[in-house]
Homo-oligomer: A and B are copies of this chain.
């Protein structure tokens, strides 16, 4: 029986406290800068951009800077063992194309984005602005690195 004097126990278990805490973390707080390429850039240029910015996934945009696809190290590696020269293959040929690209939004929970990464078996999600405009504007990226950092900070009590 729960004591009714002096002190009221909240009745929350450790697991509930963890869930409650994780439900506060939004994508926008954790997202990092998106690295973009033009869809007409070559696979070779995409590989160069990847090394220059040290990311594993690039977001391909059209002339209006709207997201049209995503290109990963895996896509580029597949292209590199093909017969065509990397200079001659444009990004739009090898990328995953909208609307097949998994995305997330700034106001979503970090844990929802993490779940989407696992569910879709991908390394990175573009963060897209919610708006009524036509076209998807990329404002950030969430990767397995983002989630791994959050996990470490959670263990160290560095997250609020």
Contact = CB atoms under 8 A, between A and B. Distances in A.
A149 B118 CA distance: 7
Q: How many copies does the complex hold?
A: 2
Interface residues of A, number: 52
A76 B23 CA distance: 39
B86 A81 contact: yes
A111 B147 CA distance: 12
Interface string A84-117: 0010000000000000000000000001001101
B19 A157 contact: yes
Nearest to A21: B14
A151 B5 contact: no
Nearest to A144: B144
A148 B118 contact: yes
Interface stretch (A43-51, A62-70, A126-134): A43-51
Interface in A128-156: 143-145, 147-152, 154-156
A154 to B, nearest CB: 6
Contacts of A14: 17-18, 20-21
A159 to B, nearest CB: 8
A34 interface: no
